[in-house]
Structure 1
């Protein structure tokens, strides 16, 4: 393969970079890193990004279905509904990514308003967090008929009926294939060459029939779709089971210690004994339990249940737990967390999008509680493995990095080198990509992100992804700023 010359190269260790480097690679691996004086093909090279927590098909759905991130009020939602033609064959009119924290005023539409605007077609509009959706009466009727309890009168539904919607009403194989292809392209454009993706069991056919090409994917499946099929999991290429203990701050369903601004206290989705058994069953099946826990109550529950499972675990069994999100971790710190057991999967883009002064977290929780969320620094300083992912809000590591280095409490944030490592080597480590969890050097896979400028020197909003090396193939890009763009 033709070598590439880069002005600066970060190997993945510390904050030092190599000035002027000729990168030789072949058969998907680095052959050598040699001094060079240009001319430069790219200004900055580094290990490729790894997104340790995403939903590839949901990412693709953002392009296949309507993108509602532009909405700024319920009137925008209702206006879009009234203008949208009804899908053929009684299919759902679907939209993604609306975020009422950006609305002014923030009131949601009523069920009557949703019915009037939609003209009778069933509607499913998923909130950006994936834990809430807006529906109409036609949707509620279809959901009940399919055995999916909406949990209330609507139009807002939360948690189980939202998470189970794609299982009850799976998109067609053509839609799945298009969504997956779109998502793979989007990931590569962001400099991402490997992901951990969580999917519905009904969506696995898309991975089997199409695959993910140059993008490596570690797949986990929602507990409800896997609990009775643990013995088959490894044969299906599944690495983890996703277990929910609570919801989301945006949907006011995270199990926080104190109430949200509306007086609600969030939801707890499992009991201690039940969770301990699930964790133990995962280990016996060779799976990694990936436990979604945002609020302090959920995190303490995981701490206790995980400890009990460890005490009962068969000697010699590989026993690791991925803690997903852990936003309110300081409420459960230091607890009984174990550096040899617990791997932290956290989302710095949440900080950039919602945790800054005056943001949605302040509105939901108040300034003091909001500021204490997402303690990346304490996790890293305590010796834990920290891997970053996006959860698709939005997908794009460069945007996420701005949250890690720009945390409202500097003690809880990271230096740029630490943040980059969490989004590369650390994310690879907790995702099971051990060959990507080591610094750049001869013999390592040549997966690299090629940037327009050094994140150590240039403002992140001026840095663009201009190329990616994935599985030995060089893809030149026009330049994706902030790894996919801000929301």
Structure 2
């Protein structure tokens, strides 16, 4: 590799050659040129010679693959960072192990104003008994403690943290056990309010660095009053703008009733009034809103929680559409998704469907979709912001979904193939820290969905995890390596490149270049995933292992 200018040069020309470039412009491309923050050219190795003399930097790819950088379309950056810098409870096998990790973490972080942990999942614990409050208090040494469940829709809290809660959810008004619904939101707000700016910045930097190391060039931060707070969002956006790293596009999940209110999200630096604006909760915490009761709650017809009705959805979509601001909602259960489509349909009747479709309003998660709901998504121009890793983690006949819903209903979840057939735009994300930042893992999870009929090709999944996130923002020309597109790309060490498509039994592969389709790594279940060698955002290297 030769480099004629310093890394900080403003308008550098970079030639990458002797590799493979994933571009629709040329399925045989081996080279690419960027000028500043823009892709200038893609093509063959022979043609690359004409750029060699004028390039400020020439990179010999040595057979490596160049792709658009990934976009993770649903992230909680600070919380994801806290699993890297704080207490990660993923994989704990029972309450005793949770308590032991809390004790070790409390000893290791004596200066933290509040102890934060995430990721416990009691689904397969022997007695399914989370720790009690007295046990948590002892493990934390009496310090404020907040432990979110893997889905972040319920949490455990210590007595000292409850003492910081204000309003109707004061210390003596909360049960000894996992907190859900508005009680959980109140406790979470108290926990996050106790996080120091230094603790928050440390977590945000850790998450952004991790994303860059995984070839992620853009994140959609899903913030809101019940998720993280205004200070967290504005601090994150300022940090991302001030340092080399992934782009961060913020969404603010708060319901509005007027265009003036909706416009105010732009003052926060947000891209829209969308993201985790909760219509319901989650399946793991049994707070997703269902039409029929949960299968594993005996003696009661429990159908979950509803936080917004169709009238509130319609008001929010109307306000946002009139303001020219993208709206969106968190909806998982079939009843909640029905509430969203009913509300958006009402707004379309009032404003005209063309105005509503033009803003590409979003639905996050959208797991429990009926054929009628999919048809409504297509008709209303809704974008489905979905997380393939959810199926990998909780799908299948013996997974959490089947336990909560029964195998028949569980088999209907996350129907990616049906969404694509209907023309519904997909944007893939992780919902980190609910599932880790892992874009290639997400692509593989979609291609090897636990319900074979819901599988999509690796190419379609890769598009949803790159260009799909940009399209969800209304930027159709990004997320693809063609002249004029942003120079956001990643370089990968990988195995043989193939064209991989699903069928009803297994995933099929082709190495025939006559297909005219750019190849991607073969993502066999359990096999190795590509290794990121370099990540570039707007022409600036933000991760480098070349």
Instruction: Please confirm whether the aligned pair reaches a TM-score higher than 0.5, indicating the same fold.
Output: yes
CA distance in 2 between counterparts of 1:443 and 1:281 reads 34
Q: Please give the alpha-carbon distance, in whole angstroms, between the structure 1 residues aligned to 2:374 and 2:111.
A: 54
| Structure 1 residues 461 and 372, CA gap change in structure 2 (3 angstroms) | farther
Q: Secondary structure at the match of 1:429?
A: helix
Partner of 2:114: 92
Report which of the two structures shows the higher radius of gyration computed on alpha carbons. 2
Counterpart in 1 of 2:285? 251
Of the three residues 204, 207, 211, the one matched with 2:233 is: 204
1:277 and 2:315 matched: yes
Give the whole-Å Cα distance in 2 for the aligned partners of 1:298 and 1:218.
Answer: 26
Task: Give the unaligned 5+ runs of structure 2.
Answer: 1-12, 47-58, 224-228, 498-519
Aligned twin of 2:96? 75
Counterpart for residue 378 of structure 1: 418
TM-score, structure 1 as length reference: 0.89
- Which deviations, in whole Å up to 9, do the C-alpha atoms of 1:408-452 show, x marking residues without a partner? 222211011111111111121003343314x32112112112222
Which residue number in structure 2 is paired with residue 442 of structure 1?
483
Provide, for residues 164-190 of structure 1, a one-character-per-residue CA deviation record: whole Å limited to 9, x for no partner: 545444222222222222221111111
The answer to whether the 8 Å contact 2:234/2:269 transfers is no
In the alignment, structure 1 residue 312 sits paired with structure 2 residue 354: no
**Does residue 470 of the first structure (1) align with residue 529 of the second (2)?**
no
CA distance in 2, matches of 1:12, 1:266: 45
Question: Which residue matches 1:173?
Answer: 197
Aligned to 2:270: 238
Structure 1 runs not aligned, ≥5 long: 480-487
| CA RMSD across the alignment | 2.8
Residues 282 and 289 in structure 1, CA contact (< 8 A), matched pair in contact too: yes
Shifted more, 376-385 versus 441-450: the winner is 441-450
Contact map agreement 2:14 2:33 (CA 8 A) in 1: yes
Structure 1 residues 141 and 384, CA, compared in 2 at 3 Å: closer, same or farther?
same
The aligned counterpart of 2:30 is 21
1:262 aligns with 2:297: yes
Deviation at 1:477, TM superposition (A): 4.2
What is the rounded CA distance, in whole Å, between the counterparts of 1:9 and 1:267 in structure 2?
47
Contact 2:321 2:355 in 1 (8 A): no
Aligned residues: 474
The equivalent of 1:483 in structure 2 is none
Q: Name the CA distance, whole Å, in 1 between partners of 2:364 and 2:18.
A: 35
CA contact (8 A) 1:339 1:383 kept: no
Superposed CA deviations along residues 324-344 of structure 1, whole A, max 9, x for unmatched, are: 111001275345334452111
Q: Matched residue of 1:329: which SS?
A: coil
Deviation of 1:27 after TM superposition, in Å, equals 0.5
Deviating more after overlay: 470-479 vs 292-301: 470-479
Are the aligned partners of 1:90 and 1:122 in contact in 2 as well (CA < 8 Å)? no
The equivalences for 1:446-457 within 5 A come to 446-453=487-494, 454=497, 455-457=520-522
Decide whether aligned partners of structure 1 residues 337 and 156 sit closer, same or farther in structure 2, where only a CA change above 3 A counts.
same
Alignment of 1:131-210 (within 5 A): 131-143=153-165, 145=166, 148=169, 152-165=174-187, 167-168=189-190, 169-170=192-193, 171-199=195-223, 200-207=229-236, 209-210=238-239
Identify the residue that residue 39 of structure 2 maps to in structure 1.
30
Secondary structure of the corresponding residue to residue 336 of structure 1? helix
CA distance in 1, matches of 2:63, 2:380: 38
Query: 2:80 aligns to what?
Result: 59
Q: In structure 1, how many angstroms separate the alpha carbons of the residues matched to 2:367 and 2:465?
A: 17
Asked whether the 8 Å contact 1:293–1:326 carries over to 2, the reply is yes
Q: How much does 1:197 deviate?
A: 0.7
Structure 1 pair 371–53 and aligned structure 2 pair: CA distance change class (3 A): same
CA distance change for structure 1 residues 258 and 126 in 2, over 3 Å: closer, same or farther?
same
Question: TM-score, normalised to structure 2's length?
Answer: 0.80
